[in-house]
Structure 1
Amino acid sequence: MMIIDSQVHAYEENTENRPWDTIPEWPEQVTGDRMVKAMDSLDIKGAILVSPFSLYGYDASYAVEVRAKYPKRFGLVKPVDPMDPQVGEVISAWKLTPGAVGVRLMMTRAPVSPRQWMGSDNPNFDLVCRAASRNDLPVNLLCWDNLEAAFELIDRHPETRFIIDHLGVL
């Protein structure tokens, strides 16, 4: 049986070249090389590599680098900024990235930026859903403590495929 891990995060240590946005209580680094070694030890053939928002925000460049090194092992998911007026274009450009398989919307109860509110009535969330659907990309939702708002958004967009990640954290 082929095993695919549905969500992993790979990241380098916190450096000036690639600084972290926050300093979580995580291992110092989980590089792409270490991830592949761990996957091999468990006979995991592939994984969906989700760029870790807590560390890199909307910058998925490290995930793209890892996927370029291991193109047969990873699909890529990029967090997108719903408050970016160009979010539709960002999603269209992401679709052209080798290995891109989805976008991620941060929909936790607390805003991830002062400009963003997390209710399902945020019209920018609708823009993300429509752009993702047009580009045939599912939307990963991180929505702990805000599941009801996520369900409202999902109900409004039957044409969009959704994945609710970290559901066990609820």
Structure 2
Amino acid sequence: MLKTAWNEWSLKALQLETALLALEEIELPEELHGQQDAAEEKLLDLARAWKQRQPAKEPRRWERQTQEGGVPRDAELKELVSGFQEDGKEWTLLRALSDQQEVVETVVSEGRACMAAGGEYYLGQWDAKEEVLEVGRDDDAGEPGTGLVLSPTAELQYTPDPEL
């Protein structure tokens, strides 16, 4: 994912929400419920304070390209594509170029995708209808994923919890 204020903020917000969910799910003995409730309230306070620091999304203009059987610029993705060629698989290359010289490449094949963005790689299920990568998700293997959803421009798709 690209190093943007929005992505950094969203990632931390997701982590705080996950921590809250985890704290709610812990089944502790009755004598610890008071401490658990106090910890949950402190964590809620922290999540609310973080939500108030929500940055605006940085404006970027993107040029998007879609190439059936396209060759990526990224070396790791090139290797992936050469494996697809050997196996006789079809793929699509999605490339997004920003006005800030950023390049995001995503190779999509058979409902799965690999994205190269900001020096990192993300694997998961490709939702063709929404055009997003659900990181870590694999329907065939029953993997629910990480909860991170990236657009083809490597922007985290996140909507803050209105309850916070």
State the TM-score, normalizing by the size of structure 2.
0.26
Please say which structure displays the higher CA radius of gyration. Answer: 2
Q: Which has the higher contact order (CA 8 A, sep 6+)?
A: 2
Higher share in strand:
2
